[in-house]
């Protein structure tokens, strides 16, 4: 049975999948940075036209989240998770943040 699984290359794929799961928090954080740069671009553009307190707050909101995700990325570069369990909690947090930011950017662009 073990030899049959090895023939399909699954055992060779497992270390690659483990490395991907460990790096997924960094990947998600970089994706959040990309979304936040897009949001910041839209908010600054609107601020220059409208100059209201609301648009100022949106620029500040996006800027603070951008700083947070940059700090997360730097942290994950220098302190990668040692185990999969240690990678899952930040991944869940960052994945939910990515979903929320993607929805917010989609609504913002309309």
Using DSSP's 3-state secondary structure scheme, residue 52 falls into: coil
Q: Which contacts of 62-67 are long-range, i.e. CB under 8 A and separated by 24 or more positions? A: 62/36, 65/32, 65/36, 65/97, 65/101, 66/33, 66/36, 66/37, 66/40
pTM over 0.85: no
Per-residue pLDDT of the chain (110 residues; tens, 9 = 90+): 445 555 566 666 667 777 777 788 889 999 999 999 999 999 999 999 998 999 999 999 999 999 999 999 999 889 888 888 888 888 899 999 999 999 998 998 77
49 and 6 Cβ atoms separated by less than 8 Å: no
E strand or H helix that includes residue 49: helix 10-50
């Amino acid at each position: 049975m073990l030899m049959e699984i090895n023939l399909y290359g699954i055992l060779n794929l497992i270390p690659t999948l483990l490395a991907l799961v460990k790096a997924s928090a960094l990947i998600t954080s970089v994706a959040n940075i990309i979304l936040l740069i897009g949001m910041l671009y839209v908010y600054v553009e609107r601020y220059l036209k409208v100059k209201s307190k609301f648009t100022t707050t949106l620029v500040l909101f996006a800027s603070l989240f951008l700083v947070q995700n940059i700090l997360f990325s730097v942290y994950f570069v220098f302190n990668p998770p040692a185990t999969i369990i240690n990678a899952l909690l930040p991944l869940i947090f960052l994945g939910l943040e990515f979903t929320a930011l993607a929805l917010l950017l989609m609504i913002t662009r309309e």
